[in-house]
Copies of this chain bind each other. A is one copy, B any other.
Amino acid sequence: MTIRALVWGENVHEQINAIVAENYPKGMHERIAEVLREDANISASTATLQEPEHGLSEARLKETDVLLWWGHRSHGEVADEVVERVAKRVWEGMGLIVLHSAHFSKIFKRLMGSPCALNWREAGERERLWVVNPGHPIAAGLPQHFELEMEEMYGEPFTVPEPLETVFISWFQGGEVFRSGLTYRRGAGNIFYFRPGHETYPTYHQQIVGQVLRNAVNWAYNPGAQAVNIHSAPNRPIEQAIEPITERGPRLHQAGQKGFA
């Protein structure tokens, strides 16, 4: 069993900002893919905003078990059609891992149904992530807490729905806290939001961040999901009712008519 992970990167700051380019000479997406490949069960490839269909064609998504998403400056350039396509695949069972500034990506806001806003500060301050759910698979093998010496601050309130489970909470040097690891399921798809990953810092070069990402891919993988028919609302004809019933009363729909979508 190999988990087919696809790392999507916006790939903009790498091209225009010297610091980011130095941090991630092959792009953030390539670095994240490298990190995933340290797990022999994961095969990781990449896609970027600049490719046709942003590298997220129907065919490509069908071959993807878990999609990771990093974006920041160019959320607005992602085509709505591609966003809907990704959402549909998540509902059908593809895992989705949303990284850092992708809290404001179209796909995350689409799946959360809430503003996904927060407060922020870029000061290279210390972030400490606490494992608040030590039994969760995404925390497997981690210490009670770990530090990122320089990170962008994200502060509460983070306007997302109450998660299934909270895995990490961050402490920031400047006085804020943030729920840094949150799990959701939408349809058959597992979703994990993971906060760290500001592009001007070497976050994805830290060994422990890689461990979290590999754990998250393994957790999000949902091999049993085959919920390909969850999008429509099919009629169950009266004569095929599981328990025999007789039609009664007035009726709006004619037999065989489709529902209103």
Contact = CB atoms under 8 A, between A and B. Distances in A.
Contacts of A128: 175, 242
A156 B132 contact: yes
Contacts of A169: 156, 169, 177, 179
Contacts of A26: none
B121 A248 contact: no
State the majority secondary structure of interface residues on A. Answer: loop
Interface stretch (A30-38, A57-65, A198-206): A198-206
A117 B242 contact: no
Interface range for A: 35 or more
Nearest to A229: B117
A174 B134 contact: no
B159 A162 contact: no
B115 A247 contact: no
A15 B168 CA distance: 40
A128 B156 CA distance: 12
A65 to B, nearest CB: 13
Nearest to A180: B177
Contact of A164 (B162, B227, B251): B162
A40 interface: no
Contact of A250 (B75, B112, B124): B124
A250 B201 contact: yes
Contact of A162 (B20, B165, B175, B242): B165
A252 B131 contact: no
Contacts of A124: 247-251
A65 B221 CA distance: 22
A215 B223 CA distance: 12
Contacts of A176: 130, 171, 236, 242
A232 interface: yes
Contacts of A155: 130, 236
